[in-house]
């Protein structure tokens, strides 16, 4: 059962959505492309970072660029750990891998790295929202 819905400007609602995307990213099954799971990993990181931006009352554009979101957090005074900064590579999964033919298939190692990066972003944002 999903968590209770909160207001769309509530950082916790964005973090709930990030948790949902992360659960989807981990949900391997027959017939599921790793690219689609990596897209959900990217979405988890993106929404977690946007939750933190909302919490800090920083306006953000509706972009899928993790690097841009990290830049905005840094400009707001947030120190970004190196392992979170690495999540900017998830941006590639936001658009290119969603459609056939624009990419090489995602490998198992790339999928595992995407999961690790998204999880780290989520945990980092979650710690700051407590």
pLDDT digits (tens, 9 = 90+) for 112-130: 999 999 999 999 999 999 8
Identify the band that residue 4 occupies on the pLDDT scale cut at 50, 70 and 90: confident
Evaluate if pTM is beyond 0.75: yes
Q: Is 84 helix (H, G, I), strand (E, B) or coil?
A: helix
Torsion of CA 64, 89, 96, 29, to 10 degrees: -100
The number of beta carbons lying within 10 Å of the beta carbon of residue 90 is: 25
Say how far apart CA 90 and CA 35 lie, in whole Å.
Answer: 11
- Distance (Å, rounded) from C-alpha 36 to C-alpha 59? 28
pLDDT in tens, 6-51: 989 999 999 999 999 999 999 999 999 999 999 999 999 999 999 9
Pair 130, 57: CB distance under 8 Å: no
Which domains does the chain show, CATH number per domain? Answer: 11-128 (1.20.120.330)
């Amino acid at each position: 059962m999903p968590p209770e819905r909160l207001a769309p400007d509530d950082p916790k609602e964005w973090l709930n959505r990030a948790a949902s995307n992360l659960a989807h990213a981990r949900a391997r099954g027959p017939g599921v492309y790793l690219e689609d799971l990596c897209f959900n990993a990217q979405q988890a990181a993106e929404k977690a970072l946007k939750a933190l931006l909302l919490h800090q009352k920083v306006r953000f554009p509706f972009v899928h660029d993790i690097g841009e979101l990290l830049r905005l957090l840094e400009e707001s005074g947030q120190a970004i750990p190196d392992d979170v900064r690495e999540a900017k590579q998830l941006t590639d999964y936001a658009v290119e891998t969603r459609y056939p033919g624009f990419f090489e298939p995602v490998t198992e190692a790339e999928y595992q790295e995407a999961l690790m990066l998204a999880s780290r972003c989520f945990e980092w944002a979650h710690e700051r929202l407590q």
